[in-house]
Amino acid sequence: MEDRDIEKSYSKEEFVSKLRRLADSIEKGENFRISVAGEALYVPDRATFTIEHERGDGAQEIEFQIKWKDQ
């Protein structure tokens, strides 16, 4: 699989919908399927979750990160 690093913007409604589906999957211990910029991704239930906060140059950012190793 080739490297990929993209950032995709979503409307507030789309973002909320994706977060709700993700939260439901996490609570149920299920894998999560999401499409990002046209590529379908399957997030396994073994994934780890982190929240990152960055501040600098008069701006702030919060990233909700989901990480897993391919098997």
pLDDT tens, 37-51?
889 999 998 999 999
pTM to 2 decimal places:
0.77
Six token digits for residue 13: 């409604």
pLDDT of 68 > 90? The answer is yes
Rounded-to-integer distance, Cα 66 and Cα 55, Å: 21
Span 1-28, mean pLDDT?
92
pLDDT of 71 > 90? The answer is no
What are the residue boundaries of the structural domains of the chain, listed by start? Answer: 12-67
